[in-house]
A = this chain, B = another copy of it.
Amino acid sequence: MRLTSCGVIVEYNPFHNGHIYHLKEARKKSEADVLVAVMSGNFLQRGEPAIIDKWQRAETALHNGADLVIELPFAYAVQSADYFAKGGVKLLHSLNVESLCFGTDLTQSMDYELFGQTYVEKEKLINQRYQEIKNNGQSYPQQMTQIYRELLQQVPLDFSSPNHILGMAYAKENARYANPMSLIPITRQGSGYHDETIKSQEFSSATAIRQRVLEKDMTSISHTVPSETRDFLENTDLHSWEDYWPLLKYHLLNHSFEELSDTYQLSEGIEYRLKESVKKAASFSDFMSLVKTKRYTWTRLQRLATYLLLNVREKEIHDAWQNSYLRVLGFTEKGRQFLNQEKNHATLPIVTKIDQKNEKQLSLDIRAGQIYQLAQQHQHKEQDYYRSPIYLKGETSYESYTSYP
């Protein structure tokens, strides 16, 4: 009998109780047999290193409700919401997933599917309007709010909620496909996305949890995460931007303006500002504060810092978009059955190990993993070469599955 599936697009930085709730709701509302998580790798949407690596986060997800974890390639993951969504939806579609379940902070109800269809219908008009106002001095979110207000009046205009923005991006992207997935929004429990306080109940935001963990305060977060996350946070080295500051500084000092200007998204002369600031800054946060202007959001600058850290070139991003793949990080028994079911139908190649045939195609993800390991004094664990998908056979044990499929 054919297995049905529901997708989620996630970062799990780190995986916490809110994510368990999300997966449970996804299973319940979708009634799917299999939950497929498309997850960012070692660098994340907001341009920062993941606090623990992609394998640890994938393993935790498999222990707590996901059946299959696919890596969202760097070229889609470290991007604004629209490209992040484009990648996630593309990967799920390529695996013939029937529904997409996502969290939203929106308090009003909204028909995301209708929004997606309307958006795609009016896209030409929206783009035209954007060209007219793009130089009006306002930020991109402000400009889009104005355009949506004019052209898409039924949409709740809460651009302060990253989850709502992502939801809209999923809807827009999904509507471009001839056979779109059904969309299942779930109202978030507990804290808001950016909330930095730890709640007494079992739900706290990943932001709050990371902050406590980096302050070595494990006690106050232990009731908000599953045991696997707690173990990893307690027993492995944690990654934060400051660990990569010496490397970023070296890279910026070591390259001329001309060499730096080839970096993806580096434009408008900001390389001069970056090279001046790096001489003065004593830390990454110091550097960011020195570089920050009204023109750039913090997140956009952080993504730029990530592109610089990893020496990402425009061509690499475009090549990765043209040559997508399904990099399998792990699966349960049910996830394995689903992969077997879809392996001859998937419209993108399924990658379970890195070899000479695919290392060029995955080069950006591989490099991201190599640099991720370079943070000083960390246990250096190979991220891509010689790694096989995690295979979680039962409830609590798994073993490396080397002979897939």
Residues of A within 8 A of B (CB): 246-247, 249-251, 253-255, 259, 279, 310-311, 367, 370-371, 374, 376, 385
Contact = CB atoms under 8 A, between A and B. Distances in A.
A254 B253 contact: no
Counting from the closest, the 4 A-B pairs by CB-CB distance are A254-B311, A253-B370, A247-B250, A250-B374
Which interface residue of A250, A279, A310 has the most chain B CB atoms within 10 A?
A250
B374 A255 contact: no
26 contacts: A246-B246, A246-B247, A246-B374, A246-B376, A247-B247, A247-B250, A249-B374, A250-B250, A250-B251, A250-B371, A250-B374, A251-B251, A251-B254, A253-B367, A253-B370, A253-B371, A253-B374, A254-B310, A254-B311, A254-B367, A254-B371, A255-B311, A259-B311, A279-B370, A279-B385, A376-B376
Of A249, A254, A367, A371, most B-chain CB atoms within 10 Å: A254
Nearest to A248: B250
Contacts of A311: 254-255, 259
Nearest to A369: B253
Contacts of A246: 246-247, 374, 376
A20 to B, nearest CB: 36
Nearest to A249: B374
A308 to B, nearest CB: 10
Contacts of A371: 250, 253-254
Contacts of A255: 311
